[in-house]
Chain A
Amino acid sequence: MTHFWRNRKFLSIAAQLISVFTVAIVVFILWDNLTYNLELLGIGFGFDFLQSQASFDIGETLIPYNPTDSYYRALLVGLLNSLRVSIIGIILATIVGAVVGIARLSTNWLVRNLALVYVEVLRNTPLLLQLFFWYFAVFISLPKLENQISFFGLINLNNKGTQLPFGLEISSELSALILGLTLYAGAFIAEIIRGGIQSVARGQWEAARALGLKPGLIMRLVILPQALRVIIPPLTSQYLNIAKNSSLAIAVGYPDIYFVASTTFNQTGKAVEVMLLIMITYLTISLTISLTMNTLNRSFQLKER
């Protein structure tokens, strides 16, 4: 019969077994090192520490919190802050991106090229740097309350933060974070939207013009629905990026989930548990955004024969 080491079927099974074995050994070695080192450092493993007192203060909270509350509550505060930034960022960035994206297609040379400059400048510098710039060079350099900059008495800017109508007050940290995230993501979204609109065949424009529709209506009824098909997948990526980039809040001192988790690690040394918490949080957020956008995506697909 055929020698077993040349038998296609045998080799297939052997490869499966060898790969399982190899991965198992590697995992075992890493796990072994991990438990050994944890014991050495006296850290151990367990989530009980979440019940103990946090003993650190958090600058901004959406729910009541004080330093005698548990780590668990602190992390919850951080999570809510992250979600707040992400959701606001996604909404504002989409608006900015849509405006700039359409501006990139304007017949007005000045408007078109100003949009181009905006996109090319913001896309080619690191977000972190932009956040530092907005926070340090702008928001905390703003004049004091007495000399605050005021826009028609509705929006006031001073070194403590931003005052918006309806009594909303946003700290300097949150202002810088939202502004930075929005403008950065807005640049990428602008290109996605521009690409999507341009991808709709020229013939659609021409057919609509021939029917006598005005440009505004053509855009709304014919072009945008078809462009959305192309836009939604890369847009999903950008939304995920906004959620992930919100973790840079640590750079401007805004207490998001990563900042709180990192502080928790610094105080408790519980590396593995904190790492798992961070992973679960962000993966859940990513998954939620992906699922939502995918459902949206499906409703936009063309129905074919």
Chain B
Amino acid sequence: MGVLLFDVSGFSTFGKSLDFFDLTTKDTKEERKEESMSMQDVVIVAENVQKWYGKFQVLRGVSLTVHRGEVVVIMGPSGSGKSTFIRTFNALEEYQQGRIEIDGIVLSDDLRNIDAVRREVGMVFQQFNLFPHLTVLDNITLAPIWVRKWSKAKANEVAMQLLERVGILEQAQKYPGQLSGGQQQRVAIARALAMQPKVMLFDEPTSALDPEMVREVLETMKKLAADGMTMVVVTHEVGFAREVADRVIFMDTGVIVEEATPTNFFQNPTQERTRKFLSQIL
């Protein structure tokens, strides 16, 4: 586990609370994206990120820019570093060289920055990682109450709205162990959304699910994208990428091999390695 016995970050004061992120779709997704593109509204900037595990270099200079409202899908064989890469965005993994900026905040050794970034980035894990000793509702309200210091009433209200949004309002008082895998993952999505993040990271969200439950989670993610959420998704789900992604990225051995729109990526891949990978999964 390796817990630093006294992590001082919790004692630092944190900044102004954010406005309630309006999730209703008044503008269309396209309109908003044009606006953000023109305003240079970037959420994630990663420049030449390099990371070593001991002597082994797992990220060899990866660069990525993600604009507000974009959906970026990353694909690649296991060991390509794609999960490691997105985990650097919320400081679950450290990096040795390069630069990462989330919503204008530089990710460095500064604990206040790390805290601030983690509040703006939501993450959904392959293994759900719900807290088994808390009810579904408590899972979702835990962070808003203890990090954003919301009142229990406000947190509960937001949590119920999110549960309705992901379609499992009636499970609010149940424990994670009583839910199916698909339901648990949807709770995990609601839990990440409760902090009103600027960007959502998905690390192979459907890989641990039985086939019949993959669809319900993908539908939830598609709705999220349609509502304008900025998303970076590591997945093997080609259908999802084709329908929803603005860009598809192929990573292999720690570098980005190819980056293109879904149409170009799947129909006219330019790199040999991409073609080989696609032939295995399509």
Contact = CB atoms under 8 A, between A and B. Distances in A.
A266 interface: no
Contacts of B9: 6
B110 A15 contact: no
Interface string A153-178: 00000000000000000000000000
B108 A11 contact: no
Interface in B106-157: 108-114
B108 A2 contact: yes
A7 interface: yes
Chain B interface bracket (under 10, 10 to 19, 20 to 34, 35 or more): 10 to 19
Contact of A15 (B5, B111, B114): B5
A2 B113 contact: yes
Interface string B1-12: 000111011001
A19 B6 CA distance: 11
Interface in A1-38: 2-3, 5-12, 15, 19
Contacts of A2: 108-110, 113
A24 to B, nearest CB: 17
A8 B5 contact: no
Contacts of A9: 109
A7 B7 CA distance: 11
A8 B5 CA distance: 13
Contact of A6 (B4, B5, B6, B12): B12
Contacts of A11: 4, 8, 111
Contact of B114 (A3, A5, A8, A19): A8
Contacts of A8: 109-111, 114
A5 B8 CA distance: 9
Chain A interface bracket (under 10, 10 to 19, 20 to 34, 35 or more): 10 to 19
User: Looking at chain A's contact residues, is the secondary structure mostly helix, strand, loop, or mixed?
Assistant: helix
Nearest to B7: A11
Contacts of A15: 4-6
Contacts of A6: 8-9, 12, 110-112
B102 to A, nearest CB: 15
A12 B5 CA distance: 10
Most buried by B among A2, A5, A8, A19: A8
Nearest to B108: A2
Contacts of B109: 2, 7-10
Contacts of B4: 11-12, 15
Contacts of B110: 2-3, 6-8
Nearest to B94: A8
Contacts of B108: 2
Interface in A117-133: none
A3 B113 CA distance: 11
A8 to B, nearest CB: 4
A2 to B, nearest CB: 4
Nearest to A11: B8
Contacts of A3: 110
Contacts of B8: 5-6, 11
Contacts of A5: 8
B112 to A, nearest CB: 5
Interface in B1-53: 4-6, 8-9, 12
B5 to A, nearest CB: 7
A6 B112 CA distance: 6
Interface in A80-115: none
A269 to B, nearest CB: 40
Nearest to A12: B4
A178 B41 CA distance: 81
Contacts of A12: 4
A213 to B, nearest CB: 41
A48 B109 CA distance: 56
Contacts of B112: 6
Nearest to B110: A2
Contacts of B111: 6-8, 11
Contacts of B113: 2
Contacts of B6: 15
Nearest to B12: A6
Nearest to A10: B109
A15 B7 CA distance: 9
B107 to A, nearest CB: 11
A10 B8 CA distance: 11
A2 B8 CA distance: 15
A10 B113 CA distance: 15
A2 B113 CA distance: 9
A10 B5 CA distance: 14
28 contacts: A2-B108, A2-B109, A2-B110, A2-B113, A3-B110, A5-B8, A6-B8, A6-B9, A6-B12, A6-B110, A6-B111, A6-B112, A7-B109, A7-B110, A7-B111, A8-B109, A8-B110, A8-B111, A9-B109, A10-B109, A11-B4, A11-B8, A11-B111, A12-B4, A15-B4, A15-B5, A15-B6, A19-B5
Interface of B: 4-6, 8-9, 12, 108-114
Given A2-B110, A7-B110, 4 more contacts: A10-B109, A11-B4, A15-B5, A15-B6
Interface of A: 2-3, 5-12, 15, 19
Which A-B residue pairs are the 5 nearest by beta carbons? A2-B110, A8-B109, A6-B111, A7-B109, A6-B112
